[in-house]
Structure 1
Amino acid sequence: MPHTCAVPLRWADMDLLGHVNNVTYLDYLAEARASFLADLDTGPGRVAGHRIDFAAPLVFGRRPALVDTWVADVDGPSLTLAHEVRDETPDGSVTHLRAETTLVLAQEPDHTLRARLEDHRDDAHPWREVRGARRPGRHHLPLHVRGSDVGADGLVRDDAVVEFFQESRILYFMDLHERGQDWGRVVVARTDVTLAGEVRPRAAAYDVQAWVAHVGEKSFTVRSDLRDPDAGDAVLATGLVVLVGFDLETQRPVALTGQQRERLLAELA
């Protein structure tokens, strides 16, 4: 049986489309993860990566979001948790998000803890590979860490890193979209983030790079790097985000507009 955590929605969780912002879901996962790990007494762990599939928009309401959590894999100190965010509506259960979070525990589970973790094991989500080659960054954002980005361990939180990528991506789009173009609306359908190193607060800016890595008929992929210019341009985190065209009236994916696709394809040249 999965562990279920009820997370009340807040109006501040919403984006401009009236949906829960894609970064805010990480708050929900963190709440559920903390509750799950506290019950098992695993000790502290560091987030090493996320894979997130956005299945359906979640809009503001009085019911809390329900986050199911279970163990997908245990390998030494590495613990992979699977999540599902759902809403129990009068018409039945609706899944809004499926996710997988990889943690590196401070201590490798002993026999007793491993047995408790195995009691909560279930099938992992199936994941399709996201296409998107590494290329030189087309957009550079000097990113200064704020105090609110830092967790209790003194390091920049994983959700803040995802927000850095979002900030860079939005500014990149603003540069691509020229006034008068039929750009259309897009929403995030998939996010993969890998945290390769520790991101520490400091006065100097980090370099967040972004570029278009793949363009399809209805979707495109933006790849991002968080780099440290003061450490030989070391890559501290990477992100792959799949975005799809979206129709507000039908609340369904649609094909990218001609101008959208033409401009995005130019970024691949």
Structure 2
Amino acid sequence: MDLLGHVNNVTYLDYLAQARTAFLADLRAGDGRVTGHRIDFVAPLVFGRRPALVDTSVSDVDGAVLTLTHVVRDDAPSGSVTHLRAESTLELHSAPDHDLRARLEDLRDEPLAWREVRGERRPGRHRLALPVRGSDVGADGLVRDDAVVELFQESRILYFMDLHERGQDWGRVVVARTDVGLLAPVRPRAAAYDVHAWVAHVGEKSFTVRSELRDPLVADGAAGAVLATALVVLVGFDLDTQRPVALTAQQRERLEAELA
């Protein structure tokens, strides 16, 4: 749970991983490397007695590249509530054979519609060196996709701490959208990786932060310098109404200064 009493954003990646593993196991499709996520946080999920449900379908099959759609929902007595919509892309170890492809096609559904997120690439305004922890590494010996998302989250939290001082009316914000691209495997090592982050867009109720996970041992612009990217939309949030609100004046002033 986070400080607002909601399920932490990274925890949803655990839900998706469990659903993805079970889905592939049922199909005997083998495993693969996750190369990207698009996640739309629709409504906060809070602690409760009912289990969260994850619906999984196929949205695309292109050679060995498989794209899955996930919907996390809660079947409340008053009706089903959608908390999250996600699209995950993974590279299977081998392209599906004829029989497996036919089974995947039977599970195909219409792909989700996604709005374009504004946010230009620019030099990072915040840099944080983060080591890979033993708990970040999966069974394949590589850093898991959810651990990469957590590295981005840790960097973003410290970035926000640097943007305002104690006592300022900074207001609460929640993540509304996360797009993550896993460009290359992140391998465990003693040397830390760098996360560069910057404010890429500021709106009335929301703003966008872009981040890159970089290998400081590789020259900028060279292959392998950028291992992962993140594009995160955050919105102002009212804890009493549990609804989005306009950014505070101090938030907007400080965020717009980052665009300069």
TM-score tier, shorter chain, comes to over 0.9
Give the match for residue 252 of structure 2.
261
Picking from 235, 244, 248, the partner of 2:226 is: 235
Q: How far apart are 1:180 and its partner, in Å?
A: 2.2
2:178 equivalent to 1:191:
yes
The answer as to 2:165 corresponding to 1:174 is no
The runs of 4+ residues in structure 1 deviating greater than 6 Å are none
Residue 81 (structure 1) aligns with: 68
The C-alpha deviation readout for 1:109-164, integer Å capped at 9, x for no partner, is 11111000001000011000111111111110101000000000000000000000
* CA–CA distance in structure 2, aligned partners of residues 231 and 119 of structure 1: 44
1:100 to 2:91 alignment: no
Structure 2, unaligned runs of 5 or more: none
1:120 aligns with 2:111: no
Secondary structure of the 1:231 match is coil
Shift in Å, 1:177: 1.2
Indicate the residue corresponding to 1:38 in structure 2. 25
The residue identity in structure 2 corresponding to 1:127 is W
Structure 2 counterpart of 1:17: 4
Q: Write the distance in 2 (CA, Å) between the matches of 1:93 and 1:108.
A: 36
The CA distance in 2 between the partners of 1:31 and 1:180, in whole Å, is 41
SS in 1 for 2:217: helix
**Residue in structure 1 matched with residue 197 of structure 2 by the alignment:** 210
Gapped regions of structure 1 (runs ≥ 5): 1-13
2-structure distance, mates of 1:117, 1:139: 43
The two structures, once aligned, show a CA RMSD in angstroms of 0.5
Alignment partner of 1:65 is 2:44:
no
SS in 1 for 2:173: strand
Q: Distance in 2 between matches of 1:112 and 1:256?
A: 52
Percent identity reads 82
The reply to whether residue 149 of structure 1 matches residue 123 of structure 2 is: no
Which residue, out of 247, 251, 256, partners 2:242? 251
Inter-partner Cα distance in structure 1 for 2:137 and 2:130:
14
Supply the distance in 2 between the matched residues of 1:147 and 1:170 (Cα, whole angstroms).
22
Q: Distance in 1 between matches of 2:16 and 2:51?
A: 13
| Partner AA of 2:245 in structure 1 | V
Aligned length: 256
